[in-house]
Amino acid sequence: MNILEEIQNCPVKWKELGEVCEIVRGNGLQKKDFVDEGIPCIHYGQIYTYYSSYVYKTKSFVSISLSEKLKKAQTGDIIVATTSENIEDVGKSIVWLGDGDVCIGGHSCIIKTNENPKYINYYMQSIFFQKQKEKQVIGTKVIELYPKNLSKIKIPIPPLEIQEKIVQILDKMTEYVTELTSELTSELTSRKKQYSYYRDKLLSFEDEVYQVEWKTLGEVARFNYGYTDKAKETGDIRFIRITDIDENGYLKSNDKKYISLTEESRNYLVKHGDLLMARTGATYGKTLFIDTAETSAYASFLIKITPSEKLNSRYYWHFSKSELYWKQANNLVSKAGQPQFNANSLKNVKIPIPSLEIQSRIVQVLDNFDMVCNDLNIGLPKEIELRQKQYEYFREKLLTFVAEGEYTDSTVQYRQDIIRLLNWVFGPIRVKLGQVISLQRGKRLVRNQLTTSGSFPVYQNSLTPLGYYTEANRVKNTSFVICAGAAGEIGYCDTDFWAADDVYTLETSDNISDKFMYYVLLSKQDRLKSQVRKASIPRLSKDAIDKMTFYLPSITEQERIVSILDHFNTLTNSLSEGLPKEIELRQKQYEYWREQLLTFTR
């Protein structure tokens, strides 16, 4: 019985929090009371701004004299923030797992319980708890969840052993998501650095790879100042302000403001592809690329940059994020009081102007980097978001006590999108098989279920069919690896077949050719066979196959390689009678070209 079935079938009592917990209100403690060293303390605001689920050490301390007046949580107690400016943060909880007691202040409370505190803490993060919480809070600008109201919220109480199992699983998921998010965030940072490096490299023209003219921006663009009006919550058209430019140079979708559409404001409308630059304040020099069709006008602290026919606007937008641009902007800006970067300064920025064709190519490359780094519908930001959603989904599954089915991880599609982009920019990329291919193990059949002839061959522990079966569990044109017996043998079946439990088949995506992977596996067969565990029955692990590395070119290049190798195969097989020497030579020629075609120089 799996854990979800155990949960579904275990006895569960729904009780009010006050029935299974003692709730102690905190007192005192303000930020001004913090000292560099002393007794550990937790301020209510830190619960939802700094700490995660479990706390072992505090970031703040109070004096010994003040600590004697404050309420204290003991190891294993839950600490809850009872005040916030929004409903999401009020009721946020943590478990104190540090050595010794920790002081808490007002606007928070301590929950003491004989149940598993980690289990209760997890349940307090669930949507079911949140829905009940919304009915118990009071206030508008400042939201309060009084301990007496908190105690009325009902929670499911399964047996302690089930609570412990739930906690163990969610702890592992939390650790996994935290680690993965950290890794992906690090990867995203690296990608952004890589993007910045290639952007600056492409736009420096320091090696004079292309013929390029250097012009001042005033020679290749004209400038217009924005419209002065009072931004309102409602109106006819959006009013773009300097605060509407996000960190990546795009238009923010939140906190929109509006103005009326008049004959005068109509002169300040923007369209897709227009460029706006912040000319004052902390964001001076930041350039916005308009990527929306929403009818909008731009405010007076913005300058509209209209490139001439020699300058691609998207090319200039990428240039405006480069080190070369910012060195000039920082030298040209007037910093007396509020920074000012007006048209008289902007026009003096020098910009390299290659041909429009080269500008277009540079835009294509940098747009792909920008998409991988910043587009929330693809790449690493989406991967992080989906992993967090996966964790939250599983947490809810465990805490609802109802099994709804198997979770399907949709991130594979996004990973394929990244690979497709990297193929476009870099050509062949080095990957591990498990990163791009899903290995599916077959299903066992016994001999008395098989016949000596039939429609569907059954592959078990060699490339010779074990027999035939009335059904197929794999479609034609599928590659497979024998993982026991003749472990390491590589097969490809051009008819539907049955894969038994000693066979792993390759499940590929749209941008990976199954036949290409068959040839890749053949080229790596010696390596795979060296990983076979020698025993009474030789075995090859799934992990060994997943970790196999190879160069993955674009799907077009894969198909070209397959076509060539298929042709060699045909030539080799057609000479199978009467010309043994020719067969040997063709086979060697085929193996040589297979290795050459599948070895990519980086």
Confidence of residue 11 (pLDDT cuts 50, 70, 90): confident
Q: Worst-scoring range by mean pLDDT, 102-116, 353-367, 577-591? A: 577-591
| Neighbouring residues of 14: CB distance < 8 A, sequence distance ≥ 6 | 154, 155, 156, 157
For 155-175, how does the pLDDT look when each residue is reduced to its tens digit (9 = 90+)?
989 899 988 988 888 888 777
Q: Are residues 371 and 244 in the same domain?
A: no
Measured distance CA(248)–CA(257) in Å, rounded: 20
Say whether pLDDT at 303 is over 90. Answer: yes
**Residue bearing tokens 């910009």:** 351
Which CA distances in Å does 496 have to 23, 454, 472, 512, 581?
Answer: 64, 12, 6, 20, 34
Phi/psi at 126 (5° precision)? -80, 160
Burial degree of 353 (CB within 10 A; 0-12, 13-18, 19+): buried
| 1 within some domain | no
Residue 4 lies in a domain: no
- The total domain count for the chain is 4
Q: What confidence tier does 458 reach under pLDDT thresholds 50, 70, 90?
A: very high
587 and 477 inside one domain: yes
pTM: 0.44
φ and ψ at residue 231, rounded to 5 degrees: -70, 140
Indicate if 582 and 464 belong to the same structural domain. Answer: yes
229 shares its domain with 108: no
Same domain? For 152 and 251 the reply is no
pLDDT tens sequence across 211-231: 578 899 999 999 999 999 999
**Summary mean pLDDT of the chain:** 83
**Mean of the pLDDT values across residues 442-458?**
89
Instruction: Spell out the residues 6+ positions from residue 19 whose beta carbon is closer than 8 angstroms to its own.
Output: none
339 with 481, same domain? no
370 and 407 belong to one structural domain = yes
**Partners of residue 62 on adjacent β-strands:** 39
Q: Do 249 and 280 have their domain in common? A: yes
> How far are the Cα atoms of 187, 201, 221, 276 from residue 322, in angstroms, in the given order?
21, 9, 18, 16
Domain residues for the domain of 586 are 432-597
- Token pair, residue 531, equals 């990983």
Angle between helices 379-400 and 127-136 (to 10 degrees): 80
Q: Are residues 312 and 222 in the same domain?
A: yes
**Per-residue pLDDT reduced to its tens digit, 571-583:** 555 544 434 455 5
* Order of strands across the sheet that contains 490-493: 438-441, 503-507, 478-482, 490-493
Q: Indicate which CATH number applies to the domain containing 150.
A: 3.90.220.20
What six digits make up the tokens of 245?
């430019």
Helix (H) or strand (E) holding 221: strand 221-225
Count Cβ neighbours within 10 Å for each residue of 173-197 and write b for 16 or more, e otherwise.
Answer: bbeebeebbeebeeebeebbeebee
Q: Which residues are registered as beta bridge partners of 238?
A: 258, 296
The reply to whether 581 and 445 lie within a common domain is yes
Of residues 96 and 125, the one with the higher pLDDT is: 96
* The pLDDT value given to residue 209: 40
Angle, helix 356-374 to helix 160-204, in steps of 10 degrees: 170
In angstroms and rounded to an integer, the radius of gyration of the C-alpha atoms of the chain is: 32
Identify whether 3 is part of a domain. Answer: no
Tens of pLDDT along 340-351?
Answer: 999 999 999 999
Cross-sheet strand order for the sheet of 275-278: 221-225, 302-307, 275-278, 287-289
Where do runs of H (alpha helix) occur along 107-257?
117-123, 127-136, 147-150, 160-204, 217-220
* Residue 376 to residue 26: CA distance in whole angstroms: 41
